[in-house]
Amino acid sequence: MRRRDLIALLGAAVAWPVGAALTPACAAELPRITILHSGFPHRTPIHLLIEALAKLGYENNRTAKIELLGGEGDPGRLNDLVAEIRVQRPDVIIAITSPAAAALKDAKLSIPVVFAFVPDPVGLGIVESIAHPGGNFTGVTYSEAGVGGKRLELLLDAITGATRIAVLLNPSFPGHSAALESIRALASLRRVEVFSCELKAVEDLEPAFEDVKGANAQAAVFMADNVMFGNRKKVADLALKHRLPTMHSFPPEVRDGGLMFYGPSNEENYQRSAALADRILKGARPSELPVEQPTKYELIINLKTAKALGLTMTESFLLRADEVIE
């Protein structure tokens, strides 16, 4: 056998097992992203986050491994999922909502975390400060306590002559109590009476709406937690049944029949969360990435619901909306 043929044969023999071994290794090197939602992710516009990640080059089972987990509003289930994540050790976690971020913080994981839809990450002890988060957490806040007052202001502008407003909320859900104080402060300036009604389970909804209407409330600010958000169609139906105009915290609540939403753009929140995860996957440290705050706020009005309630909104008010659902 000629020398060059022997070298070629030996080269082929060496190359084959190396190539075969590289295939699973390359697959294992795909970046692993875990999305942890404390509620029901498939009842949310989570596709906006998946699309934002894809635009940055992270497509599930092609250029990344993306796992979506939902706590379904159950703290025990959420903690079990966190325990699974500890074992799986993804490259980055995207934590959706305050309970998800808090559960990860309590678990003292060292995995980088990007949070989203968290109103007060400093107050919750998730980061040291907005500018210098420290540790392994950074993310995008979801408004601030003051947005509660703005929601009431818009509701009063829409419901001419309203003097008695109800606030329906779960006081134990992060951010709700601070938003309620903001609402009360604005109500004092506008000389409007505000009273609160607590919601802790789906079974509380119907009695709560009956109590609110019985107390002669002319409108309501509705603050959803995971369970209430997952039952937003029921909330909208009860509001319509009791002819109660409502202001909400998330766009899907209005698209499913609530009257109005005001708050940060959900699409922007998802896009910026995906961008932070991308920077971490490319080597940035969460401790060195300042927590970002919303820059785009939206007013969405469901005109179909307004008409069903017998509510006439002025043209000037409708012109303030970023989206009108007809």
The pLDDT value recorded for residue 28 is 56
Q: Does residue 7 register a pLDDT over 50?
A: no
The pLDDT value recorded for residue 40 is 93
The answer on 137 and 47 residing in a single domain is yes
The pLDDT value recorded for residue 146 is 79
Residue 11 included in any domain:
no
Average pLDDT over residues 140-165: 91
The answer on 195 and 115 residing in a single domain is no
Residue 12 included in any domain:
no
The answer on 254 and 234 residing in a single domain is yes
**β partners of residue 34:** 67, 93
Q: Does residue 316 register a pLDDT over 90?
A: yes
- Cα distances (angstroms) measured from residue 226 to each of 8, 12, 75, 167, 324: 64, 58, 11, 17, 25
Q: Does residue 4 register a pLDDT over 80?
A: no
pTM summary value: 0.84
The pLDDT value recorded for residue 174 is 80
Residue 222 included in any domain:
yes
Q: pLDDT-derived band of residue 175, with 50, 70 and 90 as boundaries?
A: confident
Burial of 277 (0-12, 13-18, 19+ CB in 10 A): buried
**β partners of residue 164:** 193
CATH assignment at residue 182:
3.40.50.2300
The answer on 56 and 68 residing in a single domain is yes
Residue 8 included in any domain:
no
Average pLDDT over residues 177-186: 92
The answer on 290 and 221 residing in a single domain is no
The pLDDT value recorded for residue 186 is 94
Q: What is the pLDDT of residues 20-62, one digit of tens each?
A: 333 344 445 899 999 999 999 999 999 999 999 999 999 999 9
The answer on 254 and 151 residing in a single domain is yes
Q: What is the pLDDT of residues 66-95, one digit of tens each?
A: 999 999 999 999 999 999 999 999 999 999
Three-state helix/strand/coil letters over 133-152: CCCCEEEEECCCCCHHHHHH
Residue 209 included in any domain:
yes
| Averaged pLDDT score across all residues of the chain | 90
Q: Does residue 13 register a pLDDT over 90?
A: no
Cβ proximity of 271 and 52 under 8 Å = yes
The answer on 102 and 79 residing in a single domain is yes
The answer on 193 and 109 residing in a single domain is no
Average pLDDT over residues 280-299: 96
> Which two structure tokens, joined as six digits, stand for 30?
């795909």
Least confident of 23-27, 50-54, 96-100, 114-118: 23-27
The pLDDT value recorded for residue 178 is 86
The answer on 44 and 189 residing in a single domain is no
Structural domain including 214 reads 147-263+298-325
The answer on 188 and 154 residing in a single domain is yes
Q: pLDDT-derived band of residue 120, with 50, 70 and 90 as boundaries?
A: confident
Residue 9 included in any domain:
no
Going by the DSSP 8-state scheme, the letter that residue 60 receives in this structure is B
Nearest to 36 by CA among 89, 124, 99, 87: 99
The answer on 126 and 42 residing in a single domain is yes
Provide the number of structural domains found in the chain. Answer: 2
Average pLDDT over residues 12-23: 34
The pLDDT value recorded for residue 17 is 35
Residue 91 included in any domain:
yes
Strand intervals (E) in the chain: 32-37, 65-70, 92-96, 113-118, 137-141, 164-169, 193-198, 219-222, 246-248, 260-264, 297-302, 323-325
Q: Comparing 325 with 18, which gets the higher pLDDT? A: 325
Residue 24 included in any domain:
no
The answer on 120 and 50 residing in a single domain is yes
Q: Does residue 215 register a pLDDT over 80?
A: yes
